[in-house]
Amino acid sequence: MKRNPALAGVLIGVLLLALAASGCISGGSKEKVLVVGTSADFPPFEYKNTTNGQITGFDIELITMIAKKIGYDRVEIKDMDFDSLIPSLQAGKIDVAIAGMTITDERKKVVDFSDPYWEADQAVIVRKDSSITVTSVDDLKGKVIGVEKGTTGAEYVKKHLGSNVTLKEYPGYVEALQALLNGQVDVVVLDSPVANMFVQKYGVKIVYTIQTGEHYGIAVRKGNTELLNKINSALKTIKNSPDWNKLVAKYFGG
């Protein structure tokens, strides 16, 4: 058989490409990256650092610590609207979602959650100069209420107040807060730990807290038990270590 140098060259090229794609060359093993979805409008859990635009926060540091413990080289953060997180998980665009996400029965039908790592209720916030007082959920009747789309706060208002209120759903809390400050909505209903942060940073106050007793969990694709088990054991280790207290102190003071 006669050698064909051109063909041999092509074959070698194809072989090299295949090797590169499989991660066997380019100096060692392929980098292991955990693709993390979040919604960076939720301080102190996830937010954009105002000086460098980097996404940071309690959740981001927690998932980075977990990822290291379970053998990933780094995390890649994908920021999106809160209500896109679960569809993105299902579509395989992200490996985990960490976004102060409440573990609910409804969500458990479509994703799996880690053990809980934080607790929250729903706070009712108004502008600092507002005369609105709230002593029960019924006092919200007739009000224009701003929420973040797809959240437990939004679901709560729909379920308990329904057509007795005007509900305005925003893609994120930045918009909801803006609407509150502009006077386009009377109140915003959102998670209590985040409301506490907004009170410190903006001209708003908390007038009522709805005791919803929520727990935050890290979501993975339904059936991804291997990853879930690893996350849970790393979470447990971290919670029992001084790292946890340091992380809490850093983002919640203390």
* Beta-bridge partners for 79: 38
How near is the Cβ of 153 to ligand ARG at its closest, in Å? 6
Q: Residue 186 interacts with ligand ARG (CB under 6 A)? A: no
Q: Which stretch binds ligand ARG (CB under 6 A): 12-20, 97-105, 108-116, 237-245?
A: 97-105
45 neighbors 217 (Cβ within 8 angstroms)? no
Q: Residue 113 interacts with ligand ARG (CB under 6 A)? A: no
| DSSP code string of 169-183 | EESSHHHHHHHHHHT
For residues 129 to 148, the per-residue mask of contacts with ligand ARG, x marking binding by CB under 6 A and - elsewhere, is -------------------x
Question: What element of type H or E holds 211?
Answer: strand 204-216
Q: Which of 152, 165, 189, 208 binds ligand ARG (CB under 6 A)?
A: 152
Instruction: Answer left, alpha or beta for residue 83, where phi above 0 means left and psi between -120 and 50 means alpha.
Output: alpha
The vertex-137 CA angle with 135 and 140, nearest 5°, equals: 90
Q: Residue 80 interacts with ligand ARG (CB under 6 A)? A: no
Q: Which stretch binds ligand ARG (CB under 6 A): 10-18, 93-101, 219-227, 237-245?
A: 93-101
The vertex-193 CA angle with 114 and 99, nearest 5°, equals: 40
Q: Residue 210 interacts with ligand ARG (CB under 6 A)? A: no
Task: Please state whether beta strands 111-113 and 219-221 pair in parallel, antiparallel, or not at all (unpaired).
Answer: antiparallel
Q: Residue 39 interacts with ligand ARG (CB under 6 A)? A: yes
Given the complex with ligand ARG, which of 120 and 231 has the nearer CB atom? 120
Q: Residue 41 interacts with ligand ARG (CB under 6 A)? A: yes
